Structure 1
Amino acid sequence: MTEPDRLRELADEFGTPLYLYDLDRLDDARRDLFGWLPEEFEVFYALKANPHVDLVRALRGGEGRTCRAEISSTGELAAALEAGHDPARILYTGPGKTPGELREAIGLGVRLFSAESLGDLEHIGAAALAQDAVAECLLRINDATAQAATGVRMTGRPTQFGIDSETLADLAPRLRSVPGTSLAGLHLFSQSNATDEDALIAEFRHTIDVAARIEAELGVPLRLLDIGGGFASPYGQHGRRTAYPNLRAALEAALDTRFPQWRQGTPRLAVESGRYLVGDCGTLLASVTNVKTGRGRTFVVLDAGINTFGGLSGLGRILPVSVRPGPGGAAETRRVTLAGPLCTPGDTLGRDVEVPADLGPGDRVAIPNTGAYGPTASLLMFLGRPAPAEVVVRDGDVVSVSRIEHVRTYRKVAGEHD
Structure 2
Amino acid sequence: MSLPQTPSGGTRARDRELVARHGSPLYVYDLDRAVAARDALREALPESFTLFYSLKANPHPGLVRALAEGPGGCRAEVCSPGELANALEAGQEPGRILYSGPGKTAEEMTAALAAGVRTFSVESLGDLERLGAQATALGTVAEVLVRVNSAAAAATTSIRMTGTPSQFGIDAETLPELMPRLLAVPGARVVGAHFFPLSNSRDEDSLIAEFTATIESAARLEREHGLPLQVLDIGGGFAAPYSVPGERPVYTLLRTALEKALDEHLPRWRDGSLEIACESGRYLAGDCGRLLTTVTNVKHSRGRTFAILDAGINTLGGMAGLGRLLPLAVEPRADGTDGGADGGPELTNVVLAGPLCTPGDMLAKAARIPAPVPGDVLAVPNVGAYGPTASLLLFLGRPAPAELLLRDGEVVSASRLTTSRAEIDTGAR
| TM-score (ref. length: structure 1) | 0.96
User: C-alpha distance in 1, partners of 2:165/2:111?
Assistant: 30
- How far has the Cα of 1:312 moved from its partner? 3.6
Task: For 1:107, give the aligned amino acid.
Answer: A
Which of 358, 383, 386 is residue 373 of structure 1 equivalent to? 386
Residues 268-291 of structure 1 show CA distances to partners (whole Å, capped at 9, x for unaligned) of: 100000010011110000001122
User: C-alpha distance in 2, partners of 1:209/1:102?
Assistant: 31
Whether 2:234 is the aligned partner of 1:221: answer no
- How far has the Cα of 1:266 moved from its partner? 3.0
Give matches, 1:244-323, under 5 Å. 244-312=251-319, 316-323=323-330
- How far has the Cα of 1:4 moved from its partner? 2.2
Secondary structure in 2 aligned to 1:48?
coil
Q: Which residue of 2 aligns with 1:12?
A: 20
Greater shift, 311-320 or 39-48, is seen at 311-320
Q: Which residue of 1 aligns with 2:356?
A: 342
- How far has the Cα of 1:122 moved from its partner? 0.4
Whether 2:417 is the aligned partner of 1:404: answer yes
- How far has the Cα of 1:324 moved from its partner? 0.7
Runs of 4+ with >6 A deviation: none
Uncovered stretches (5+) of structure 2, i.e. residues with no partner: 1-8, 339-344
The 3 A distance-change label for structure 1 pair 83 and 376 is same
Tell whether the 8 Å contact from 1:300 to 1:338 is kept in structure 2 after alignment.
yes
Q: Which residue of 1 aligns with 2:121?
A: 114
- How far has the Cα of 1:296 moved from its partner? 3.2
Uncovered stretches (5+) of structure 1, i.e. residues with no partner: none
Give matches, 1:85-96, under 5 Å. 85-96=92-103
Q: Which residue of 2 aligns with 1:203?
A: 210
The 3 A distance-change label for structure 1 pair 303 and 125 is same
User: C-alpha distance in 1, partners of 2:148/2:425?
Assistant: 44
- How far has the Cα of 1:313 moved from its partner? 5.0
Whether 2:164 is the aligned partner of 1:177: answer no
Q: Which residue of 2 aligns with 1:33?
A: 41
Residues 149-168 of structure 1 show CA distances to partners (whole Å, capped at 9, x for unaligned) of: 11101111111110000100
- Identity fraction in percent: 58
Secondary structure in 2 aligned to 1:175?
helix
Tell whether the 8 Å contact from 1:306 to 1:314 is kept in structure 2 after alignment.
no
User: C-alpha distance in 1, partners of 2:319/2:80?
Assistant: 20
Tell whether the 8 Å contact from 1:122 to 1:178 is kept in structure 2 after alignment.
yes
Two-structure CA RMSD over aligned residues (Å): 1.5
The 3 A distance-change label for structure 1 pair 174 and 329 is farther
Secondary structure in 2 aligned to 1:29?
helix
- How far has the Cα of 1:353 moved from its partner? 1.6
Task: For 1:288, give the aligned amino acid.
Answer: V
Tell whether the 8 Å contact from 1:36 to 1:244 is kept in structure 2 after alignment.
yes
Task: For 2:361, give the aligned amino acid.
Answer: D
- How far has the Cα of 1:314 moved from its partner? 8.5
Whether 2:86 is the aligned partner of 1:82: answer no
Q: Report how many aligned residue pairs link the two structures.
A: 414
The 3 A distance-change label for structure 1 pair 351 and 217 is farther
The 3 A distance-change label for structure 1 pair 311 and 233 is closer
Task: For 2:93, give the aligned amino acid.
Answer: D
Residues 185-220 of structure 1 show CA distances to partners (whole Å, capped at 9, x for unaligned) of: 000001100011111111111111111111124313
User: C-alpha distance in 2, partners of 1:337/1:212?
Assistant: 52
Tell whether the 8 Å contact from 1:19 to 1:388 is kept in structure 2 after alignment.
yes
User: C-alpha distance in 1, partners of 2:304/2:280?
Assistant: 39
Task: For 1:191, give the aligned amino acid.
Answer: L
Which of 49, 56, 68 is residue 64 of structure 2 equivalent to? 56
Residues 122-144 of structure 1 show CA distances to partners (whole Å, capped at 9, x for unaligned) of: 01101100001110000000011
Q: Which residue of 1 aligns with 2:51?
A: 43
Secondary structure in 1 aligned to 2:146?
strand
